[in-house]
């Protein structure tokens, strides 16, 4: 997946003790890093929609990759990851599906 034409469909849990307020996953402004468990590589994403965040509860969310120079191919269905802001782990999640976008007009 070298291009950025895909959506990461996942479930995420954000931790109460790491944030004072829950992020809005629907306004396109929450851009943390995903770090695959057992890896150190940071994968920048932009959450574009999801359920309202309730701390310590698993919710559905969708995110887009943001860095054209990063290889996101390790993100596959079933991949477990951490959600990182700066150097702080604020949550975790699992990839449920990678939805590949098709160019306009392609069937």
Q: Which position has the token pair 């895909």?
A: 6
Is residue 54 within a helix (H) or strand (E), and if so which, with residue range? none
Q: Over the stretch 17-58, which tens digit does the pLDDT of each residue have?
A: 988 899 999 999 999 999 999 999 999 999 999 999 999 999
Residue 106: predicted pLDDT = 58
Here the tokens at position 16 are: 């109460």
Residue 100: predicted pLDDT = 84
CA separation (Å) from 84 to 34, 76, 88, 107?
Answer: 6, 19, 5, 37
Contact criterion met (CB below 8 Å) for 100 and 8: no
């Amino acid at each position: 997946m070298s291009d950025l034409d895909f959506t990461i469909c996942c479930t995420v849990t954000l931790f109460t003790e790491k944030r004072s307020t829950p992020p809005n996953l629907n306004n396109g402004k929450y851009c943390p890093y995903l770090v695959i468990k057992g890896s150190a590589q940071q994968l920048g994403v932009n959450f574009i929609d999801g359920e309202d965040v309730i701390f310590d509860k698993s919710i559905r969310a969708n995110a887009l990759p943001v860095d054209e120079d990063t290889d996101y191919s390790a993100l596959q269905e079933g991949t477990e990851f951490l959600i990182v802001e700066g150097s702080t782990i604020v949550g975790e999640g699992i990839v449920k599906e990678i939805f590949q976008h098709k160019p306009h007009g392609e069937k």
